[in-house]
């Protein structure tokens, strides 16, 4: 199974400014210290070797969209954030090379940052494409139609020519969808959100659990999440705030923290945690610091097998 991240930012898409890019370039030039590079590849190798990820790259700024390459040839996509747009264009190239034009979407919830990419999803205009939108929310279609009403967007939902189907899921029930076993679970968030557990024919398991708050007064409910995450190969988790923020200023905002994600993964025996749904006000250095602190916290609290902690960024691919 391959997991490809197209959008990893929460709440609002963001983009680096000219000043941010200038600072990165200047820092790289100073780090190179007069070194000559024969070609771009050599220069890129230097970046990978000598600069931190925040200094030499970027975590990106598209809102949530995660693709799973799994199953028997259709597409599997979690959420329709602004990252859906580049995925849609890329998928059309794959379609021209013979990829099956069936898109299985799985919505965590219907907040704007998780649906804003759909009006720009090019395959939705292809009359030969099949788009199945799986959601535990009964009002998924309402949410998508509403954002394409004339007051908000110039292209109405009814102009989309693909075969668009809405499939309502029931939490706790397993589904076999195009070669992948899918389960969904209720999570604490405004208008409710749902986590997903995907298992392929080889038993590889990915958890997608974003926009899920774990409140101090409800810690006894976390046993259900530990069971849902059990022995997963990869857990993609909302780690938007520090633990202190999540229990004080940002309580009831519907998000979680890196420490809770590490603890849940430890208890579930998961192998790898991907930090996800990054705070839009964070610069790359802030996200990198959060990643480093999460790795350190995992080391300090580890008991048995280590948990690999990675930080999702737009463009990251993880092969399981």
Partner 1 sequence: MDYSLERRVETIIMRVAGRVDESTWVAFGEGLSEAIAQARQHGVSSVTIDLAMLDYMSSRGLRALTVAKREADEADVTITLAAPNEVMREILAISRYDKLFTITDTVEMK
* Least distance between partner 1 and beta carbon 221 (Å): 12
Q: Would you say 151 or 300 has its CB closer to partner 1?
A: 300
Give me the helices (H) in 40-173, please.
40-50, 53-56, 84-96, 140-147
The radius of gyration computed from the CA coordinates of the chain, to the nearest angstrom, equals: 20
Decide if residue 90 touches partner 1 (CB under 8 A).
Answer: no
Q: Would you say 131 or 311 has its CB closer to partner 1?
A: 311
**Continuous segment of H or E residues that includes residue 318:** strand 317-319
Decide if residue 305 touches partner 1 (CB under 8 A).
Answer: no
d(CA 48, CA 56): 7
* Least distance between partner 1 and beta carbon 187 (Å): 17
d(CA 133, CA 121): 13
Query: Of the listed pieces 126-134, 135-143, 167-175, 260-268, which binds partner 1 according to CB under 8 A?
Result: 260-268
d(CA 252, CA 110): 17
d(CA 175, CA 171): 10
Decide if residue 257 touches partner 1 (CB under 8 A).
Answer: yes
Q: Would you say 190 or 301 has its CB closer to partner 1?
A: 301
82, 62, 52, 57: which is closest to 15 by C-alpha?
62
Of 138, 217, 281, 304, the one binding partner 1 (CB under 8 A) is 217
Decide if residue 286 touches partner 1 (CB under 8 A).
Answer: no
Decide if residue 231 touches partner 1 (CB under 8 A).
Answer: no
* Least distance between partner 1 and beta carbon 121 (Å): 37
Q: Would you say 29 or 219 has its CB closer to partner 1?
A: 219
Task: Tell me how far CA of residue 235 lies from CA of 28, 102, 196, 310, in angstroms.
Answer: 33, 25, 10, 10
Are the C-beta atoms of 120 and 148 separated by less than 8 Å?
no
Decide if residue 221 touches partner 1 (CB under 8 A).
Answer: no
User: Binding pattern to partner 1, positions 163-202, x when CB under 8 A?
Assistant: ----------------------------------------
269, 200, 196, 267: which is closest to 238 by C-alpha?
196
Q: Would you say 259 or 272 has its CB closer to partner 1?
A: 259
Of 14, 260, 275, 287, the one binding partner 1 (CB under 8 A) is 260
d(CA 70, CA 311): 22
d(CA 87, CA 230): 29
194, 197, 199: which is closest to 210 by C-alpha?
194
* Least distance between partner 1 and beta carbon 297 (Å): 5
Decide if residue 70 touches partner 1 (CB under 8 A).
Answer: no
235, 261, 313: which is closest to 5 by C-alpha?
313
Decide if residue 273 touches partner 1 (CB under 8 A).
Answer: no
d(CA 19, CA 211): 31
* Least distance between partner 1 and beta carbon 220 (Å): 8
Are the C-beta atoms of 285 and 16 separated by less than 8 Å?
no
Decide if residue 15 touches partner 1 (CB under 8 A).
Answer: no
Of 69, 90, 286, 293, the one binding partner 1 (CB under 8 A) is 293
Decide if residue 308 touches partner 1 (CB under 8 A).
Answer: no
Decide if residue 18 touches partner 1 (CB under 8 A).
Answer: no
Please report, as ranges, the residues that interact with partner 1 according to CB under 8 A: 216-217, 219, 222, 242-245, 247-248, 257, 259-260, 262-263, 267, 293-294, 296-297, 300-301
């Amino acid at each position: 199974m391959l997991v490809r991240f197209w959008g990893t930012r929460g709440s609002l898409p963001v983009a680096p400014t000219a000043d941010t890019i200038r600072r990165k370039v200047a820092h790289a030039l100073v780090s190179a210290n007069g070194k000559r590079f024969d070609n771009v590849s050599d220069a890129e190798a230097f970046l990978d070797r000598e600069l931190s990820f925040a200094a030499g790259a970027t975590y990106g700024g598209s809102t949530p969209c995660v693709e799973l390459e799994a199953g028997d040839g259709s597409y599997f996509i979690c959420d329709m954030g602004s990252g859906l747009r580049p995925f849609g264009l890329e998928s059309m190239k794959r379609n021209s090379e013979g990829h099956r034009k069936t898109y299985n979407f799985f919505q965590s919830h219907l907040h704007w940052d998780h649906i804003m990419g759909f009006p720009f999803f090019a395959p939705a205009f292809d009359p030969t494409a099949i788009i199945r939108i799986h959601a535990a929310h009964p009002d998924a279609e309402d949410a998508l139609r509403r954002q394409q009403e004339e007051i908000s967007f110039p292209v109405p939902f009814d102009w989309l020519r693909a075969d668009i189907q809405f499939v309502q899921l029931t939490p706790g029930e397993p589904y076999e969808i195009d070669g992948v076993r899918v389960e969904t679970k209720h999570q604490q968030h405004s208008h409710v959100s749902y986590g997903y557990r995907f298992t392929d024919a080889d038993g590889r398991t990915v958890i997608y659990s974003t926009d899920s708050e774990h409140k101090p007064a409800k810690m006894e409910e976390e046993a259900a999440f530990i069971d849902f995450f059990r022995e997963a190969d990869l857990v993609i988790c909302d780690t938007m705030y520090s633990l202190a923020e999540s229990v004080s200023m940002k309580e009831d905002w519907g998000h979680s923290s890196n420490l809770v994600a590490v603890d849940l993964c430890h208890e579930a025996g998961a192998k790898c945690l991907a930090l996800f749904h990054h705070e839009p006000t964070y610069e790359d250095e802030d996200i990198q610091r959060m990643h480093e602190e999460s790795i350190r916290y995992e080391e300090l609290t580890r008991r048995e097998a280590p948990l690999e902690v990675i930080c999702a960024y737009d463009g990251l691919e993880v092969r399981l």
